[in-house]
Structures are given as C-alpha cells and as structure tokens.
Amino acid sequence: MQTMINGHIVEHEEALDVAVRYLIRIGAAESKVFFDEAYARGSAIFEDHMGYKYKLVHNGSKYDLVKI
C-alpha cells in the first residue's frame, strides 16, 4: 500500500496501518524529524505510543515503513 504523509509517499503493508495513523496523528512538525533523519541517514527508527518499533527507510522518491 501507499499512503501520503506530510507530502511524502510511504509504502507499507496493510498490517502497518497503525504506524501510519501514528505518524499522521503526531502531526507534521513531529513526524518531520523521522522523515528528515531517514532522508539524511537512510533510515530512522521510531516507537509508537504502544512501544512498538518501526523503521522508516528512504528509498529514492519514497519511504518504506517496516516493523522491527
């Protein structure tokens, strides 16, 4: 699946909708930190409010979201 989050295309499995909703819910300013880090370093790890960890990977013109 693909979802647009704050102007970024995020590719993810349907099972990761909870992580997508989390990135949307925390707002553009806070999620921008993860996108900026993934762009600069290749990936960014973040944790949602339930303690689950995810990785946002910069992949050319899009970002891949995976659970770790």
What residues does each domain of the chain span?
2-67
- Report the pLDDT value the prediction gives residue 26, as an integer from 0 to 100: 96
Whether this prediction's pTM lies above 0.85 is answered by yes
* Alpha-carbon gap, residue 68 to 57, rounded angstroms: 12
pLDDT per residue as tens digits for the range 26-61: 999 999 999 999 999 999 999 999 999 999 999 999
Query: Considering only CA atoms, which of 61, 63, 51, 1 is closest in space to residue 22?
Result: 51
* Alpha-carbon gap, residue 45 to 62, rounded angstroms: 16
* Alpha-carbon gap, residue 59 to 50, rounded angstroms: 26
* Alpha-carbon gap, residue 5 to 13, rounded angstroms: 15
pLDDT per residue as tens digits for the range 7-27: 999 999 999 999 999 999 999
Residue type, 31: S
